[in-house]
Amino acid sequence: MSLVEFLRARRSFYIFGSILTAIVLSISISLGAAMRQHAQDTAGPAHVTITISGAPGSSHSTPAHHHWHPESFRDLNFKIPLGLLFGIAAYATIILATILGTSLNSENGRGGFAFTKPISRERLALTYFAVDAAAGVAIFALALILCAIALAAFGVLDRVFLDSGAIAVAAAGTGAALMWYGLLQALTSWNRLKGGLITGITWATFLIVLPLYEVTQLGPIFHTMLAGINYLNPLAYYTACSLDGQTVAVLSQLGFGTGQVIAFTWTLGIAGLAIATYGWKQVEV
């Protein structure tokens, strides 16, 4: 049965990975072509006037010629924290986690085939979770590779450096993916409803609730209801990443720090998997 889930996870990885690769490469190629065209249209030296002050009341200006092409990012003084790339890769992992988050439910409509194996359902569920986790690690790595390719294409890959918050950002982002994955498993493992429908409902609900949480004009009762939903919303924990000096930090709509985001998302994710395993065990053949 682990082979069945491996094939399912591999198919999802290939499809989503191909889409992700196509998007990144097309954007990189389009931007590169646009910048090369802009460089050709603005070819020629740039004239810079430099004023040199001498004796009081006297000055003279000297025209200087400086060649700079828009595509030459290396002329700019900046660095790229690795935590920023980890943050981008984490969002890709979240998406794949929602695609794979109904793996237990997918067996409920197969006539109980998964339950005829001479192993416990708990062990079988853990096997499915492990296969899906491996796919999540693979998509995280793929997203990092694509980021590296895009940066290398513009000649700034060497600007990447390991910032102090990189590991924490990766832990928070993968925690959000685990939380959503666990929530979907808990909602779908015990029934024969279409798991894809539940996944779509959670995406729609969380994306709508996220901005509405900031609206206070609808009254305290409505805001309290939204707050309750947001405590189950992985995107409310892992809303965005911000660059604070030379360190990337996680922004949470709920006001939690990065450490709290890591603790809550991983705890809720594991709890969701435990509930899902128990619910799946109760499914009748």
Count: domains in the chain: 1
Helix locations, the chain, DSSP H: 2-41, 82-100, 105-108, 121-153, 166-188, 195-212, 220-230, 234-237, 258-281
Asked if 179 contacts 206 with a C-beta cutoff of 8 angstroms, the reply is no
Distance, CA of 186 to CA of 256 (rounded, Å): 24
Integer Cα distance of 140 and 176 in angstroms? 13
Residue 49 has pLDDT above 60, yes or no: no
Instruction: Report the helix count and the strand count for the chain, using DSSP H and E.
Output: 9, 6
Residues ≥6 apart with Cβ < 8 Å to 215: 223
Give 39's pLDDT tier (boundaries 50, 70, 90). Answer: low
Those residues whose C-beta lies under 8 Å from the C-beta of residue 74, and which sit 6 or more positions away, are: 155, 156
Q: List Cα–Cα distances, 86 to 83, 146, 172, 180, in angstroms.
A: 5, 12, 10, 18
pLDDT of 55 above 50 = no
Give per-residue pLDDT as tens, 184-209: 999 999 988 888 999 999 999 999 99
Percent of the chain at pLDDT > 70 equals 80
CA atoms within 13 A on the CB side of 104: 33
The C-alpha angle 36, 39, 45, rounded to 5 degrees, equals 155
Q: Which domain holds residue 71?
A: 2-281
Residue 52 — pLDDT band, cuts 50, 70, 90?
very low
The 10s digit of each residue's pLDDT in 202-234 is: 999 999 999 888 887 778 888 888 889 999 999
The share of the chain scoring above pLDDT 90, in percent, equals: 56
pLDDT band at 3 (very low <50, low <70, confident <90, very high): confident
Alpha helices, DSSP H, located in 189-241: 195-212, 220-230, 234-237
DSSP state of 44: S
Instruction: Give me the chain's average pLDDT, please.
Output: 84
Is the CB of residue 47 less than 8 Å from the CB of residue 65? yes
- What is the C-alpha separation between 223 and 238, in angstroms, rounded? 20
Give the pLDDT band of residue 149 (cuts 50, 70, 90). very high
What distances in angstroms separate CA 31 from CA 22, 24, 153, 154, 195, one per listed residue? 14, 11, 10, 10, 38
Other beta carbons within 10 angstroms of residue 238's beta carbon come to 30
Residue 41 has a pLDDT of: 62
* Tokens linked to 87: 């943050």
pLDDT tens profile 66-122: 444 444 555 667 789 999 999 999 999 999 999 999 999 988 866 555 556 667 889
Q: Between 139 and 45, whose confidence is greater?
A: 139
Q: Position of tokens 């569920």?
A: 125
Q: 236 or 70: whose pLDDT is higher?
A: 236
